[in-house]
Structure 1
Amino acid sequence: MDSRSVAKHVEDPEYVARPHKLYTLVFPVDTATSKVLLGMKKRGFGKDKLNGFGGKVEPHETIEQGAVRELQEESGLTATHIKKIGLLFFYFENDPVTMEVHVYQSDRYDGRPMETDEMRPEWFGVHEMPFERMWADDSLWWPYALENKRFVGRFWFKADQVTITRQELREVDSLEF
């Protein structure tokens, strides 16, 4: 298992033993307008869904460095400060690899959002999220983010990547493991 993984601190032994891949997810927030920047995924995993900006963490970087890099590559924004708000584990039917996703918010960044080959950015009110166009789990943990609560969630999806068959979600005091 990747030494940067925190799975051993929060998962059952059965799931810790599975291979994990590290991912990041960043939600830029404009506090002055109470809006969050989402991107319409144009290709690959999650195509045609709105989501935050993120992806795989490269072997040579920290998880936070991966988050900043992915945000810049996918939106044109360079985060000058990010705050970890959550940790999500995703298990997909017929896929032996667990997705370990470190979730961040950023209210300090440079640049302007721009469309890239992978994402088309769009601002939404933080209380008007288009959950019907997002991953099924987003509506479950987003209220924690709105209330500035840290969270850990585990979601089991059918192979259709839409249907959640099981879930665990809880507030935590800290995301430092």
Structure 2
Amino acid sequence: MTETTLCFPLRDGDDDADREVLLIEKRRGLGEGWYNGPGGKCEPGETPRECAIRETHEEVGLEVRDLEKAGELTFLLDGEEHTVCHVYRTRSFTGEPTPSEEAYPEWVPIDGVPYDRMWDDDHLWLPGVLEGQTVAGEFQFEGGEPLDEAEFVDHDLEWDVPF
């Protein structure tokens, strides 16, 4: 089982229509060409929070602080636990997003998130997370490795989970 993170930096505009989230277009690895939040695999001895901070800095150059845990997502592949993803959001960061070998960052309006260019499950949980909710979810994929070529078959979500 792999432990991973996602971090969603948010910035507010003058009104709700101007609210934005920082997404990345993956340039390599799992999900290449798709959009998601910065994040990645936890290193040995690293907490998920530490991983989210490190990965966000490595991928887009932002120094994120005051992370709020917004989700814990378990992904099953062919009935076996494959990945647990810890989801964070923050409005506290310094720096300007810059591209890296792994990711191209882009500020996207909350109402313009490109769900058609994201993982099949993202449209089920990410809108709630961007609106301030917390979620625990389990997502079932079938078809073997690699995960980004497996078929999404089912899910279960629980909202307003205390973390």
Q: Same fold (TM over 0.5)?
A: yes
Q: Which runs of 4+ in 1 moved over 4 A?
A: none
Among 111, 124, 131, the residue aligned to 2:108: 124
Q: Deviations over 1:112-141 (max 9, x none)?
A: 100000000111111111000011111000
Contact 2:74 2:81 in 1 (8 A): no
The answer to whether residue 153 in structure 2 is matched with residue 165 in structure 1 is yes
Q: What is the TM-score normalised by the length of structure 1?
A: 0.82
Q: What is the TM-score normalised by the length of structure 2?
A: 0.88
**Unmatched 5+ stretches in structure 2:** none
Aligned length: 155
After superposition, the Cα gap between the structure-2 partners of 1:139 and 1:162, relative to the gap in structure 1 and judged at 3 Å, is farther
Aligned residue for 1:4? none
The answer to whether residue 40 in structure 2 is matched with residue 55 in structure 1 is yes
Q: Deviations over 1:69-94 (max 9, x none)?
A: 00000010010221110010112238
**1:1-177 to 2 correspondence within 5 Å?**
20-32=1-13, 33-93=18-78, 96-159=80-143, 161=149, 163-175=151-163
How many Å separate the matches in 2 of 1:148 and 1:90? 22
Q: Is the partner of 2:138 in helix, strand or coil?
A: strand
How many Å separate the matches in 2 of 1:143 and 1:114? 25
> Could you tell me the percent identity over the aligned residues?
36
**Farther off after superposition, 156-165 or 74-83:** 156-165
How many Å separate the matches in 2 of 1:146 and 1:27? 8
RMSD: 1.6
**Farther off after superposition, 34-43 or 159-168:** 159-168
The code of the aligned residue for 1:64 comes to R
The code of the aligned residue for 1:117 comes to E
